[in-house]
Amino acid sequence: MDSKIIDPLVEAYIKSMCPPSIDFLEDLETLAEKYGIPIVQKETAQFLKVITEIAKPKSVLEIGTAIGYSASLFALSMGNGYIDTIERNEKMVDRASETFKNLENEKMTSVTIKVHFGEANEILSSLDKSYDLIFIDASKSHYQSFLDLSLPKLNDEGILICDNILYKGMIASDEYVVKRKKTIVKNMRNYLNVLMANEDFTTSILPIGDGLSVSKRRRK
């Protein structure tokens, strides 16, 4: 399907160039496809692997777990450390817990993964750890409050990655906006304006998947 973000032929080519997933991840991709569960796109997954290998975070905070696909990607690339991931849908929490149990049972990573059940804004207020990398991939209208609550937990020189920031091209151009998504578009545009203007961060907007922002926190 045309994401409206880059040329469809180029997008198909980039997807085709991504190496095949290991069986563990492929099973999750199949499950997501079967039940229409949104997980990061293939090229986004590849990017998350690369950035994890470059930045070597020892701690990750994720907002939006779903079935635990992106958290598994982080865990597999990190080797050790801890991940806290937040999800408000109980069925997803159960499935993600199964995913993380399987990762542990198959001894694929030494990373400790904890899935927190509840509204992100509530859970974020109760977490008392700090993180090298924060990944936001949940309700698109609430990125600003997710950021406000999670920023105090991001270490100096930490990385912030947000998915869906171009949301099917709608954030970039009114030409693509559908009426019922107007509020999301407005909120996401405001969020990106605030993020890009934040001098504590160096931020880049990438046309990968549904659009990714990647920010590096400057040393204080």
Beta carbon nearer to ligand SAM, 132 or 137? 137
Question: Within 27-46, which residues bind ligand SAM (CB under 6 A)?
Answer: 38-40
Is residue 89 a contact point for ligand SAM (CB under 6 A)? yes
Task: Report the alpha-carbon distance of residue 27 to residue 9 in Å, rounded.
Answer: 26
Beta carbon nearer to ligand SAM, 119 or 197? 119
Is residue 70 a contact point for ligand SAM (CB under 6 A)? yes
φ, ψ (nearest 5 deg) of residue 104: -70, -45
Helix, coil or strand: residue 32 = helix
| DSSP β-bridge partners for residue 160 | 134, 215
Question: Within 156-215, which residues bind ligand SAM (CB under 6 A)?
Answer: none
Q: Which of 60, 61, 83, 92 binds ligand SAM (CB under 6 A)?
A: 92
Going across the sheet that includes 59-63, the strands are: 112-117, 82-87, 59-63, 131-136, 154-163, 212-217, 201-206
Mapping DSSP onto H, E and C, the string for 77-96 reads: HHCCCEEEEEECCHHHHHHH
Whether residue 204 contacts residue 213, with contact meaning beta carbons closer than 8 Å, is answered with: yes
Least separation, in Å, of the C-beta of 156 and ligand SAM? Answer: 25
Is residue 87 a contact point for ligand SAM (CB under 6 A)? yes
Q: Which stretch binds ligand SAM (CB under 6 A): 5-13, 101-109, 136-144, 169-177?
A: 136-144
Q: Which of 66, 177, 184, 214 binds ligand SAM (CB under 6 A)?
A: 66
Q: Which residues bind ligand SAM (CB under 6 A)?
A: 38-40, 64, 66, 69-70, 86-89, 92, 119-120, 137-139, 142
